[in-house]
Amino acid sequence: MVAMYTVAGRQVGSHVLAMLTLGTVFAVPVLWPSGSKNKNTNTPPINAGSKDEEKFIQEFLQQVEQESKADKISGKEAH
């Protein structure tokens, strides 16, 4: 026989309490992860002299970001 405990007016077996405890211990970190999900994509302000220069800098940054993503996929990540 198992040891029985009274919880909220009901008889509960010790094996049920053990399963609930283990389930809670492993489920809480999975369902409630720490940290933020969104990446910090804030960049410093672009102090361009003209709109053309600002557009060029933004396009260049996007191109570099795409190349770095492609390198990570192909395994050519810089060390």
38 occurs within a structural domain: no
User: Does residue 79 carry a pLDDT above 60?
Assistant: no
Q: Do residues 2 and 18 lie in contact, with contact meaning Cβ atoms separated by under 8 Å?
A: no
- pLDDT tens per residue across span 25-74: 999 988 887 766 666 567 678 888 899 999 999 999 899 989 888 877 77
CB atoms under 10 Å from CB of 1, counted, come to 4
Q: Which domain holds residue 54?
A: 45-79
Same domain, 51 and 79: yes
40 occurs within a structural domain: no
Type of residue numbered 75: G
Q: Do residues 4 and 14 lie in contact, with contact meaning Cβ atoms separated by under 8 Å?
A: yes
Same domain, 49 and 79: yes
C-alpha angle 27/33/36, rounded to 5°?
Answer: 165
2 occurs within a structural domain: yes
What confidence category does residue 16 fall into, taking pLDDT thresholds of 50, 70 and 90? Answer: very high
39 occurs within a structural domain: no
Residue 30: what pLDDT? 86
63 occurs within a structural domain: yes
**Structural domain tally of the chain?**
2
13 occurs within a structural domain: yes
Q: Supply the pTM of this predicted model.
A: 0.42
